[in-house]
Structure 1
Amino acid sequence: MRIVYMGTPDFAVPCLEKIMEQKHHLLAVITQPDRPKGRGKKLQPPPVKVVAESYNLPVYQPEKIKTAQFLQTLKELNPELIVVVAYGKILPKEILDLPPLGCVNVHASLLPKYRGAAPIHWAVINGEKETGVTTMYMNEGMDTGDMILSKSIPIDDDDTVGEVHDRLAALGAEVLGETLTLIASGSAPRVPQDHSQATYAPILKREHELINWNRSAREIKNQIRGMNPWPGTYTKLEGRVLKIWRAEIVAGSSKEKPGTVISSTNDQLVVQTGAGCLSITELQLQGSKRLGICDFLRGRKVPPGTVLGAEGGNDIND
C-alpha cells in the first residue's frame, strides 16, 4: 500500500520499521520539528526522523498541519492510507478524509480505556494488572474511532512505566503489522467502541509528580513506578527537592504522621504513609545524582522523625 507515516517519539520507531519490513510503499514520514534538549539546548531530531533518514525516506516536519500548504503536500503524496503513532498533534477532518483507506492509529491502551495523551503512565499509576495496544480507524474524536485489533500484556507489580512502554512499543509494531495485512486484503474489521466504558489518560502535569504521603503505600508505589523514568516523582527533604525513583511496600506501621521517617539504617529508609509503610530504595536529592539507598545514606543521614513533604498542591488527582 501507498502509506504516509506520522509519528514522533521512540514509541513510534518499531511501527515505522514494521512498515518498512512489510515492503509497503512508504511515501513520506511526517514528524514533529527538531526541538532544543539538554543543558546546551541544542536542537535534537525526533527519534522517528533519525530512523526515517537512515532509510532515506522523505521527512516533513511542519510546525502546523492545519494549513492549506500542508494539506496540498499530502494531496500530492496521494497516500492510500495514513498511519499515525504518537505523532503529537490532532489531525483535522480534511486530513482524516484524504486517504481512501482511512487513517489508522496505534494507541497504547486497551480501548476504550485510557483514551488520551498518557495511557501508559496512567495504567501503571492506577495499578492496572494489564494493558495493551489497540489499532483503530481515526475519527474527529479523541481516540474514539472503530477498533481493528487489540492485544494485551500483563503489568507486574514492580514494572516501571519505562519497562511497560518498551514492551508496548514492540507489541504495537506486531499489531500494526497484522492490521496492515488485514487492510490490504480488504478484511479489516470495524468494531465500535463502547463509549460508556471509556476512561481517560490526561497529559501529565507538575502536580502529578508530587507525592502525597497521606495516600496508601500501594498508591504511592504505583505513582513512583508510573513516573519512572519520566518525569519522576518528588517530595521535599529539609526544603530541597527529593526525587523518589523506586520504593517497596514493607510490613509494619506506626502512629507517626504520613511522610515521617520511622526507620533509618545503613541500607533502609522507611517512611510512614496514610496506610502502610514504604521503603525507599532509589532516590535523588536536588543537585545530586540518582543513587541506591545504601550509597545515599552513606553520604547523608536522614534520622527517624524526619518529615518528608512539600508545600501546597499535595494530591496526584487534583
Structure 2
Amino acid sequence: MRLIFLGTPDFAIPALRAIHASGHTIVAVITQPDKEGKRLVMTPPAVKVEAERLGLPVYQFASLRKEGVELVRSLSPDVMVTAAFGQILSQELLDIPTHGVFNVHGSLLPKYRGSSPIQTALLQGEKQTGVTIMRTAYAVDSGDIILKKELPILPEDTSGTLFDKIASLGAEGIVEALDLLEKGKITYTPQDHSQATFCKMITKEDAEIFSNTQAEKACLMVRAYSPWPIAYLTAGGERLKVYQAEAAAKQGEQGTFFAQNGELFVNLQSGALHLISVQAENKKRMSGSDYLRGHQAILEKRIG
C-alpha cells in the first residue's frame, strides 16, 4: 500500500519506524516546519530527522490544509497515518486517501479526546490507559475505532514514561491496523459519543500547586507534569519546581513548610506534600533535604 505519514515529535518516531520496517510503502513524510531553538538555531522536528535517516522524502508545511492539498493529491495515497502531527486536517484532506486517515491516539477512546490524553489520565488517577487506532473524522478524535491496546499505569509512571510506552504500543497497533486493511479484514466500530470526555492543551500555569490543592492531587500533578512543564510551588515570590513528591500527614497551617527528620514538607489541603526532589530558580536539581539544609528560611515562608 502507498501511504503518507504525518507526525512531528518524538512520540511519532516508533510508529514511523515500525511502518517502514513492516514493508508498507511510505511515499512521503509530512511534518511541521523547523523551529527556532536555543541560540536562534533552527531545529528540525524529530520526525524529519528520523525520516531523512530512513531515506524517506520529507515535506514541511506550517498549514497542510492551506499549502499541501495538491501535493497530497498528487501522491495518490491509499491511506494516511497521523501520530501527533499537530495540525487539524480539513475534510478535503481526509477525503483524498482511498481508505481514509488512520490516527494513533494516546488514550482508550472515547475517553480523553484532545491534546493531552496522557497527562490527563495521570491527573485523574487512572489505573489503566492505552492507545486507540482510529479512522479520523473531522470532529476531534471522534472517528471510528479500528483497535485498542491497553496499558496499566504504574505508581511510578510519569507522563514521560507513559509517552514512551504508549508510543511503542501505538507503533504495534498501527502496523496491525495496516495489515488488517491490506488483508481486507479491517473493521470500524463507531464510538459511543455519550461516553466521550475531553482534555485541554497543557500550559505552564496548570502546573502550579497551591495551598488549597489536595495532597493526593498534588502528587498526581507532579507525575503528570513531568517532564514538562514540571509542577511547582511559589513561596516568597520564588518558584520551586517539584520533580518527585509523596503525600504525608499534615503538621501545621495550610500553606506553610515544615521539616521532619531532615526532610522538607509543605502543608496543603487534607494533607502535606513531602518534597523529595526539587529545583530552585537558576539552580540545579537536588533532594528536598539538601535544599532544606541550604535554605532554612523556607520554613518561614508560605505558598499561596
Q: Which TM-score tier does this pair reach, normalised by the shorter chain?
A: over 0.9
Separation (CA, whole Å) in 1 of partners of 2:297 and 2:127:
34
Q: Give the deviation of 1:292 after TM superposition.
A: 1.8
Q: Give the deviation of 1:265 after TM superposition.
A: 4.6
Equivalent position of 2:251 in the other structure: 254
User: 1:158-307, aligned counterparts within 5 Å?
Assistant: 158-250=156-248, 252-257=249-254, 259-266=255-262, 268-302=263-297, 304-307=299-302
Higher helix proportion = 2
Q: What amino acid is aligned across from residue 50 of structure 2 in structure 1? A: V
Cα offsets for 1:46-98 (capped at 9, x unmatched): 1111100001111000111122x511111111110000000000000111000
User: 1:114-193, aligned counterparts within 5 Å?
Assistant: 114-193=112-191
Separation (CA, whole Å) in 2 of partners of 1:41 and 1:189:
48
Q: Could you say what the CA RMSD is over the residues aligned between the two structures, in angstroms?
A: 1.4
Length-normalised TM-score, structure 2 = 0.96
Q: What amino acid is aligned across from residue 294 of structure 1 in structure 2? A: S
Q: Give the deviation of 1:262 after TM superposition.
A: 2.6
Asked if 2 retains the 8 angstrom alpha-carbon contact of 1:264 and 1:303, the reply is: no
Separation (CA, whole Å) in 2 of partners of 1:303 and 1:28:
55
Q: What amino acid is aligned across from residue 211 of structure 1 in structure 2? A: I
Asked if 1 retains the 8 angstrom alpha-carbon contact of 2:203 and 2:229, the reply is: no
Equivalent position of 1:27 in the other structure: 27
Equivalent position of 2:16 in the other structure: 16
Q: How many residues align?
A: 304
Which moves more between the two structures, 28-37 or 211-220? 211-220
Equivalent position of 2:2 in the other structure: 2
Separation (CA, whole Å) in 1 of partners of 2:155 and 2:295:
30
Separation (CA, whole Å) in 2 of partners of 1:129 and 1:293:
28
Question: Is 1:64 aligned with 2:27?
Answer: no
Q: Give the deviation of 1:10 after TM superposition.
A: 0.5
The percentage of aligned residue pairs carrying the same residue is: 40
Q: Give the deviation of 1:303 after TM superposition.
A: 5.1
Which moves more between the two structures, 121-130 or 143-152? 121-130
Separation (CA, whole Å) in 1 of partners of 2:209 and 2:115:
21
Separation (CA, whole Å) in 2 of partners of 1:169 and 1:205:
22
Asked if 2 retains the 8 angstrom alpha-carbon contact of 1:256 and 1:262, the reply is: no
Q: Give the deviation of 1:284 after TM superposition.
A: 1.0
Unpaired segments ≥5 residues, structure 2? none
Length-normalised TM-score, structure 1 = 0.92
Asked if 1 retains the 8 angstrom alpha-carbon contact of 2:129 and 2:152, the reply is: yes
Asked if 2 retains the 8 angstrom alpha-carbon contact of 1:121 and 1:161, the reply is: yes
Separation (CA, whole Å) in 2 of partners of 1:3 and 1:150:
21
Cα offsets for 1:189-210 (capped at 9, x unmatched): 1111011111111101232111
State the secondary structure of the residue aligned to 2:29.
Answer: strand
Q: Give the deviation of 1:275 after TM superposition.
A: 0.7
Separation (CA, whole Å) in 2 of partners of 1:136 and 1:9:
20
Separation (CA, whole Å) in 2 of partners of 1:105 and 1:213:
40
Asked if 2 retains the 8 angstrom alpha-carbon contact of 1:135 and 1:175, the reply is: yes
Separation (CA, whole Å) in 2 of partners of 1:109 and 1:187:
24
Asked if 2 retains the 8 angstrom alpha-carbon contact of 1:261 and 1:304, the reply is: yes
Q: What amino acid is aligned across from residue 80 of structure 1 in structure 2? A: D
Q: Give the deviation of 1:272 after TM superposition.
A: 1.1
Separation (CA, whole Å) in 1 of partners of 2:211 and 2:113:
28
